Structure 1
Amino acid sequence: MSMILSTIGYEAATLPEVIAKLRAAGVEVVVDVRAVAASRRAGFSKSMLRASLAVEGIGYEHLRGLGTPKPGREAARKGLIAEMEAIFAEHMATPEAQDALALATAIVRDRPAALLCFEACASGCHRRIVAEMIQETTGCEVRDL
């Protein structure tokens, strides 16, 4: 059986919808790849999200080092995806980011995981880049939920 790494964005979803998708995909741990694990969306701030996932038997790990730096988030909000990607690539060369990537990779090797971020569409989100980096190392299959 091959490893599967899921990715999910909560921009257009409620917490129950996100949890249902995670459960249906067999996800055992959510790896939060937001630089800032706070949200104005109900239920998606770090403590509440961790507690809600725990009730469902899903683990939670916040890896701030895999988050997009503020200038990258601002570029993404403006639809400047290439600029966001360049900023994120520079960030991924840092020791903090490399350590977080190593931990995320270990988690994916250990159990079914999902990378979580805000953007609904993975193609315009840095979580796609993180997923591709993990895929290169592990050979896992990536699925966008």
Structure 2
Amino acid sequence: MSKPKTPNYHRQRFLLVLLELVGGYLSKTDFQKLLFLSQQEIECSYYDFVPYHYGCYSFQAQSDIEMLESKGWLQTVGAEIQLLEKSVDCMARDELARVSYFARKYKNYRGIQLVRFVYEHYPYYAIHSKIAKDLLDNHFYQAVIHAQEKLKSDENGLFTIGYEGLSFEKYINELISHDVHLLCDVRNNPLSRKFGFSKGVLSQLLPKFGIEYIHIPELGIVSENRNNLETKSDYVKLFKSYRNSLPQKEESLKRLSGLLDKHKRVALTCFEKQHDLCHRHCISEYLENIRNIKVIHL
């Protein structure tokens, strides 16, 4: 049987090399923890992580594992990942040397010892852990509690955020770091080819981080009205038209205002990185004018 085709993305090649150098066989938990540590200690940033049920977790990495399994590079059996093909020839010599050093450094860290090490050194990633209290000494567990408390805010707030240029994990961390309680999706069509940003994924995963999700398509702009936006004047015309339409969206705006009363800290989301190139800033300005609320564009 021929060797599978080399993965297109360097991050996936990195993942394969790391698996090979740590022995070619890991539990899924150990894989996530070692991959996380590699991103902190090696000069690379292929994957981002969120604080999940058992600590640092990359949804993108898990998606890549599934893709690589489908291509024949590895297999998963229960909670274990096993490499099927050698892959060190996928990486440049200098980076390979750094990964090799990392693998030797952590060769004896597995299981509970590895999880505890990550929790002790990176307490933020244990804030949603189901096992931190039982796993850590009181000193280190208090560091996790402190990390949780630092994120909390008693102030009401309205935020806006676009996912352009962000990984799913960085996006989630932005919401967590600003103590957002509800994400309000104001896209007309909440689908995305970018990993993690379709309505189905957001509505399924956000509650696992204590963030509710709601989609209000009536506040979106239909796709055909966004075609051929090339100059600043094009955007000015689009947003002028959108502002003029807001009185016809009164019911949806009242609903959004009620959600602010209920959830206290709400983020409006759409695609564009720059808020002034997205209609979400028109919505936030409208609410800012009728309410005494602080707006922060993330």
Q: How does the TM-score come out when normalised to structure 1?
A: 0.90
- Residue in 2 aligned with 1:115? 268
| TM-aligned CA deviation for residue 98 of structure 1 | 1.6
- Residue in 1 aligned with 2:239? 85
The partner residue of 2:257 within 95, 100, 105 is 105
Worse overlay, 102-111 or 29-38: 102-111
- Residue in 1 aligned with 2:177? 24
1:51 aligns with 2:201: no
SS in 2 for 1:36: coil
Aligned residues: 142
1:134 aligns with 2:287: yes
SS in 2 for 1:60: strand
Runs of 5+ unmatched residues, structure 1 = none
SS in 2 for 1:93: helix
| TM-aligned CA deviation for residue 2 of structure 1 | 4.7
Distance (Å, rounded) in 2 between the aligned partners of 1:21 and 1:119: 15
Per the alignment, do residues 90 and 70 of structure 1 end up closer, same or farther by CA in structure 2, a change over 3 Å counting?
farther
Counterpart AA for 1:102: K
Q: With a CA cutoff of 8 Å and minimum separation of 6, indicate the structure with the bigger relative contact order.
A: 1
- Residue in 1 aligned with 2:58? none
SS in 2 for 1:140: coil
Distance (Å, rounded) in 2 between the aligned partners of 1:73 and 1:98: 22
- RMSD of equivalent CA atoms: 1.5
- 1:69–1:87 contact (8 Å) kept in structure 2: no
Q: How does the TM-score come out when normalised to structure 2?
A: 0.45
- Residue in 1 aligned with 2:192? 39
1:9 aligns with 2:159: no
Per the alignment, do residues 118 and 63 of structure 1 end up closer, same or farther by CA in structure 2, a change over 3 Å counting?
same
Counterpart AA for 2:290: T
Per the alignment, do residues 59 and 46 of structure 1 end up closer, same or farther by CA in structure 2, a change over 3 Å counting?
same
Identical aligned pairs, as a percentage?
27
| TM-aligned CA deviation for residue 136 of structure 1 | 1.3
Distance (Å, rounded) in 1 between the aligned partners of 2:170 and 2:157: 20
Structure with the greater alpha carbon radius of gyration: 2
| TM-aligned CA deviation for residue 3 of structure 1 | 2.3
| TM-aligned CA deviation for residue 57 of structure 1 | 1.1
Counterpart AA for 1:100: S
Distance (Å, rounded) in 2 between the aligned partners of 1:57 and 1:88: 32
SS in 2 for 1:50: helix
Worse overlay, 117-126 or 103-112: 103-112
